Structure 1
Amino acid sequence: MKGVLLVNLGSPESPTAKDVKPYLDEFLMDERVIDAPKWLRTILVRGIILQTRPKKSAEAYAKIWWEEGSPLVVISERFSDKLKTQTEMPVALGMRYGTMSIKKAMQELKEKGVDDVLLVPLYPHYAMSSFETVVVKVLEEQKAGFPEMKITTLPAFYKHPEYIKALSESIKDGLEGFDYDHILFSYHGIPERHIRKNDPTSFHCKIDGTCCKVNSVAHNTCYRHQVYDTTEMVKAYLGLQEEQVSSSFQSRLAGDPWLKPYTDYEFERLAKEGKKKLAVITPAFVSDCLETLEEIAMEGKHQFIEAGGEDYKHIPCLNDNDLWVKVMAKWVNDWQATNKLDVVPST
């Protein structure tokens, strides 16, 4: 019997340092998030970061926490519930980190008789710290406790026309009534070394502004290439001019170089160049979360206005948008009917 496993990032149980600490520990100790040797990762995370970060992160979570709970979890549940009404297959929702675990979701599917699973990482783009870690974790759980389950993974869908349409229409709705003079596509940042690590050719990805334009198998796992593809396709769909749009990367950590340009620097640059009304989109996520709601919607607005901007609008993620649910329902139902996935055209 076939079923669908949706997996998103996860969340602490509450916006308190007590609950944030174990969540951050699991997240930051993931070798695909901080890809240092375990001994060094342990020193960094448990010896340094977790001594101060939980309190600060809890304060940030408290700013965006909903009455129903974590926004990311609530939104993911709403999306899952809507999807269930548009497919005959069982659908389970798990999180890569936190108590709402992948293991629990797989057990839920097993109890419903599912032994053929379509895994849907809820990330449009391929990155080792998001898409890849979800796939690896599911396969680990399968080997340990669900050997009878067959796992098929939905590929990164960053440039599928149906996804681009849903994203673009959502953006169009978000822009209605807002007289913007620039749109910033702000994507989650990753270290430059992650790009090189995921390059199967070991030589294509130079991160120099040219390699993304040269066709290569490396693009199948190149986060940088994929996010720029998303921006270009949305720009074309909405008929936006080149000078109206730019892309940047948020949420970097100190240390090694991360993908540039940095979003906080862009807020200042755009304001000083005379862009007074800024719309910001965060397409690396399909569900709003701490990073979009606090860092971009709140802190980003403050940074832009402080730099001389006048008006600022954060456009929500796809969340449980009806068109987005319809797109996902089509993909999973097509898989059920044909046992095939044709989500992303060949590079």
Structure 2
Amino acid sequence: MGGQEAIRPGHLVVVVGGAVAGAEAVAQLTARGIRCVVLEQNVRPYGKIEDGLPRWHVKLRAQEYAKIDQKLAHPLVEFVPRTKLGREIGLKDLLAWEVGAIILANGAWRDRPLPLDGIDAYVGRGFYYQNPFVYWFNHYDDPDYSGPAVKFADGGIVVGGGLASLDVVKILMLEGVSRALRARGVPADPVSLEHGGLKRALEERGLTPEALGVRGCTLFYRRAIEDMPLNEVPEGAQPQQLERHRQTRRKLLQNFQDRFLFRVQERSLPVGFLTEADHLAGLTFARTELTGREVVRVPGSEAPVRAPLTVSSIGSIPEPVADLPMAGELYRIRDRRTGEVEGLPGVFALGNAVTGKGNIQVSLKHGRLVAQHIL
């Protein structure tokens, strides 16, 4: 275990965070007779399964809840809710405990800032980040809702790429169409429209977005569509495999577009923003070229895109924790495969806090990989 004494049955491991990756690490450890204390910042251990997924994912959410519950119900697990690292307890406190290991599965709850100086001054005024935006969508109908406020507007733009960005795009499209239908006296809600796809739902009613006066939204992605991480490329993939994955990504995105009727603008990098009074009124984009993996801005290609609503969906990053070494926006990890935190023997990180991907299967695999390394 990275030079540390091997963890054996009867040892105690502290796991910070009980969602997908944390629960999987717990399952691996308890199967070997190792006791686990799970410190969870929320009342329930479901992490972004609970509020990172839009509310139409009812079946998936229930399935993942059940899996997490089963893993944490093991008799060798003690679950401690409402205990956030850096709030109720510090890393130094944990390091003073005599435990076999400390596993950080506390996720990535902070939106990566959109790299445009000054734009955060417009948060809540035409500009929103993905995490609070999805939370608003999931809860704005709650009778006692007091969370983030969003002033919805048709014709929005989304900056990002990947599955989480597609969820944001779907929210914008579903909200826009459902509101337009209700304005005509046609009962509609975003969740029911999502089930069969927006295109089919409108065809069944003999309508189109244009007939409803819905402009829809556009997803702007800085790379080529084939680079959008809609599927996982296996390590060591050969050129032919890589090309198949690239073509699959284009087909997957086209399927999303066909079903939910949004637009995509590839090779577009936000380089500035537009304002009106005290609100964000759109972004300025430049075209890009790819030199290897590097995204290069094309000089003179800048063009403004006006929009009443902009959502940044460029990824989530972990919250900084006192005494935990950082490498830029991320924890300083010696080896992503083992999750070892540099300079802190016996401390490991896993899941979204390391991978930077809000993907259930990626988090599950990484939680298993790191736990098996610890063992």
TM-score when normalising by structure 1:
0.34
Structure having the larger proportion of residues in strand: 2
TM-score (norm 2): 0.33
**Structure with larger Rg:** 2
